[in-house]
A and B are shown apart, each in its own frame.
Chain A
Amino acid sequence: MSARKLPLWVDIGVLPVANVLIALLIAGLVVLAVGASPLDAVKGMIDGALGSSEGIGYMLYYTTDYIFTGLAVAVAFHAGLFNIGGEGQAYLGGLGAGLAALALDHGVSPALAIPLAIAAAAAVGALWAAIPGYLQAYRGSHIVITTIMFNFIASALMVYLMVNVLIAPGSMSPESREFTAANIPVISDILTHWGYAVDTSPLNLSFVLAIACCFVVWIVIWHTPFGYEVRAMGFNPNAAVYAGVNPKRLTVIVMCFSGALAGLVGVNEILGVHHRLLLDFAGGYGFGGIAVALMGRNHPLGIVLAALLFGILQQGGTELSFDMPQITRDMVVAIQGLVILFSGALANLPRPLLEAPFHWLARRRTPAEEA
């Protein structure tokens, strides 16, 4: 009897836009409060992110990370698992990529070294997520708690390794030596090579990998029996058991899949940009991914759009803090926080308002149909 409350296009199209607008409205008030013009701020932000080839490059580079972590959260979410550990999985994915790159430095061609290093990033990310998955499935430790804990462990482990083991001899900062083979080509170099002059930016071919991952996730979740079982478990774990699924095994497998996707952040950062192992390169993307997945309704297409928004906020915000002295870096973080708040936690706030006209229409229609 309970009819769908809103048409699909409103649910996935209008509602997120309304959420972002509310967030920007509140953010505008905050900007006003520090004595700056909200309109100038919006303009500065959009200019910073989309006004130059350099801005667009940076924006898409940030977007890449958000796509990876957004997909990671979404995949786990489809199985009813809340993976908060994208941060640590991304961090250790970078470690995997870096170790592989360091090992494959001598006499290995990039064509071999790069795929191997990517695989290593995915594998270590998967492993780091598999442990909480195993603990949830077979030991009953709640995955939200364990994945958060594993973020801290990952962080401590990285500091130990960078300071004590992987630091380049004679270096003052905790960084490894530079890789020589497994460096992923930068897109601005490629475009310049082909004759399109664009400014240098860190955007690299990892972006293409991210888009490919979107496609893979779409196929796996919606077009394979495995994905069917994942969604069945997410909707109703009992029904999944009834349908012949081993929920424990599936939990571990899904967490591996999720962790592998988060681990690919390491590919973008370590193999694509820094070309060496270092500390804190995954800063914030793991948590940002939760918001991206929420906003993108756990669908790859929505995740790309949400990741673009977060890329714009991040790049535009950085530029903005240069241009407008009243708006500090913290203010930009606050604006991001507002977007997360209104499109995540308060996502259903404008829903009753949007529903009202549809209910009204439905009521008018029902008696007419019966007559």
Chain B
Amino acid sequence: MADAPALELRGIEKFFGPVHANRGVSLSIPRGAIAGIIGENGAGKSTVMSIVYGLYAPDGGEILIDGAPVKIGSPRDAIAKGVGMVHQHFMLVDTFTVLENVILGAEAGGMLKPSLAKARGELKRLEREYGLKVDPDALVGTLPVGEQQRVEILKALYRGARILILDEPTAVLTPQETDQLFRILQALKGKGTTVILISHKLREIMAVTDLVYVMRHGQVVAERNTADTSREDLAELMVGRKVRLDLDKAPANPAAVALSADKIGVRGKGGVALLDNVSLTLRAGEIVGIAGVSGNGQTELLEVLSGIRAPSSGTLSVGGKTFAAPRFATPAQMRVLGVAHVPEDRHRYGMCAGFTASETSVLGIQRDAPFAQRGLTNYGAMTQHCDVLMERYDVRPRRPQQLAINFSGGNQQKLVLARETDQEPKVLLVGQPTRGVDIGAIAFIHRQLVALRDGGAAILVVSVELDEVMALADRILVLYGGRIVGEVAGGRADERTLGLMMAGATA
């Protein structure tokens, strides 16, 4: 059966309680192809691939590998049948070497030495064939993220994967690392490995795949040859209506300095410098973007500027007040001074699990009139406020009494953004403005931020999506290893230069 597809799914069904996560998902991926699976959050793309990898049992349907029906009850089964998966969050032991990680769970016999020797030879071969270069004796914890991902791919190949599934593989990579990954995928394809790429980045799907499946509401709504389609076409298929991907914005008119941070330093556990001498100014009417690979100090920077975390050194001036480390402003003080904060992790900071949308809509301003009157909470005013926010930001469904966590990610983000921008902040700190947000809502959120800028707010946008920073920012600062390693004017930014700075190379 030379022509049988490497992987075929027929009518896969999956329920999570009452949620119908996959409805009759059928797809067919030929051997040696790179297939993309795209769809918005909650479209069911990760679910269906988790079923193929044996993490979930399907409630119906068939899986065929090389034309033969198979039962996959666990990841162990999947591996035995040649299916490997690289998860978005790596499953590596930081304190083990690359070699030890690769053989973990696939040791041959009770003694380690022969396994390690065999694996060492095997890694050499894989490196030759696919250009997968990693030092086998390096501790995984000391490797950059791009190389850790290579270790994950090596793990799968070492176990004989002929079908490799990658879940949002580029989320943590610099543009250069992404290019390297794609070269590796092309090499794998050349040797007959089938690659399945789950992604929401249309540009990357267009760049590397041979065919694309589009999922929406748990169903496959379209199958396209990549050569015959376009980003706009795919976006429309994903959302179900036309979407604008571009952002028009007039040049900025920066005015007075609204916030200035001087030589901010933050030390983590064991004295590691998480932020090192970071100085920046935000002017009214401009958007400053912070570019960088996740984990290079962005989180700490936002925490310091919003008052959540006191830095170990440095000063911060905002709204006519100056704070010097280590005694710093509290979040409540910062709010009074006109600083609003859309946290990068809305579940960590922006919302409470048990709160309704209406309660969530006053987080941070719960003691302000009219939400508190004569010491009592005014739920009527809260609901009304929430309703207004929901209308203005098109939050769906418009149910203020629904628990906030039961909204989709994009709608949660719109609610948090609406809450923070409604306070007419002088300074708006935004972390990952569109993380987990559906593609249809991204352009909307971007337009809102530009409108706020034009209204005179000073905005700091921190994002790991380089496209987003480049689209929004009037000025881009690059954060690497807790330091600002470069500044580029927004209009003149190009991806390669920024990418090099993000990787720590001096441009």
Contacts and interface: CB of A to CB of B under 8 A. Distances in A.
Interface string B344-375: 00011111111100010011101100011001
A242 B377 contact: no
Contacts of A246: 330
27 contacts: A1-B406, A2-B17, A2-B19, A223-B376, A223-B377, A224-B375, A224-B377, A225-B366, A225-B367, A225-B375, A228-B359, A232-B366, A234-B354, A238-B348, A241-B308, A242-B306, A242-B350, A243-B363, A243-B366, A244-B335, A244-B364, A244-B367, A355-B17, A359-B18, A363-B18, A363-B20, A366-B18
B355 to A, nearest CB: 7
B406 A242 contact: no
B331 A243 contact: yes
B217 to A, nearest CB: 9
B363 A1 contact: no
Contacts of B331: 241-244
Contacts of A244: 330-332, 335, 364, 367
A232 B19 contact: no
A236 B355 CA distance: 10
Interface in B307-354: 308, 330-332, 335, 341, 343, 347-354
Interface in A172-207: none
A231 B352 contact: yes
B408 interface: yes
B345 to A, nearest CB: 9
Contact of B17 (A5, A225, A228): A5
Given A231-B354, A235-B353, A3 B406 contact: yes
A134 to B, nearest CB: 20
A367 B308 CA distance: 46
Contact of A228 (B347, B350, B377, B408): B377
Contact of A235 (B330, B335, B352): B352
A45 B186 CA distance: 77
B47 to A, nearest CB: 11
B141 to A, nearest CB: 25
B90 interface: no
Interface residues on B, range: 35 or more
Contact of A242 (B363, B372, B375): B363
B486 interface: no
A87 interface: no
Given A239-B352, A244-B330, A232 B17 contact: no
B403 interface: yes
Contacts of B366: 225, 228-229, 232, 243
Contacts of A231: 352, 354-355
Contacts of A227: 377
Contacts of A238: 348-349
Interface in B91-143: none
Contacts of B82: none
A346 interface: no
B73 interface: no
Contacts of B348: 236, 238-239
A4 B403 contact: yes
Contacts of A358: 18
B481 interface: no
Interface in A308-332: none
B23 to A, nearest CB: 9
A3 B405 CA distance: 9
Contacts of B364: 242-244
Nearest to A244: B332
Contact of B341 (A5, A219, A242, A359): A242
A216 interface: no
Given A224-B375, A239-B352, 18 more contacts: A1-B408, A2-B17, A3-B406, A5-B17, A228-B359, A228-B377, A229-B366, A232-B355, A232-B363, A236-B351, A239-B351, A241-B331, A242-B306, A242-B343, A242-B363, A244-B330, A244-B332, A246-B330
Contacts of A235: 352-355
A335 B343 CA distance: 50
A219 B377 CA distance: 9
Interface string A221-259: 011110111011011101111111010000000000000
Interface of A: 1-5, 219, 222-225, 227-229, 231-232, 234-236, 238-244, 246, 355, 358-359, 362-363, 366
9 cross-chain pairs, A with B, having the tightest CB-CB distances, nearest first: A244-B332, A362-B18, A235-B352, A242-B349, A225-B372, A243-B364, A235-B354, A236-B352, A225-B367
Nearest to B308: A241
Given A242-B341, A243-B331, A244-B364, A1 B355 contact: no
A4 to B, nearest CB: 7
Contacts of B19: 1-3
Contacts of B17: 2-3, 5, 355, 359, 362
B11 interface: no
A246 to B, nearest CB: 7
A170 B167 CA distance: 81
B75 interface: no
A245 to B, nearest CB: 8
B354 A2 contact: no
A260 B20 CA distance: 49
Contacts of A363: 15, 18, 20
Interface in B11-68: 15-20, 42
Which of B352, B362, B363 has the most C-beta atoms of chain A within 10 angstroms of its own C-beta?
B352
Contacts of B359: 228
A231 B356 CA distance: 12
Contact of A239 (B349, B367, B403, B406): B349
A313 B416 CA distance: 48
A336 to B, nearest CB: 30
A146 to B, nearest CB: 25
A366 B353 CA distance: 26
Which of A242, A243, A366 has the most C-beta atoms of chain B within 10 angstroms of its own C-beta?
A242
Nearest to B378: A223
Contacts of B367: 225, 244
Interface in B368-398: 371-372, 375-377
Contacts of B343: 242
Contacts of A223: 376-377
Contacts of B15: 359, 363
Contacts of B352: 231-232, 235-236, 239-240
B330 to A, nearest CB: 7
A240 B18 CA distance: 32
B20 A225 contact: no
Contacts of B363: 232, 239, 242-243
B22 to A, nearest CB: 13
B356 to A, nearest CB: 11
Nearest to A364: B18
A250 B354 CA distance: 19
A329 to B, nearest CB: 40
Contacts of B306: 242
Nearest to A365: B18
Contacts of B350: 239, 242
A240 B362 CA distance: 12
A1 B42 contact: yes
A363 B16 CA distance: 10
A225 B377 contact: yes
A224 B378 CA distance: 8
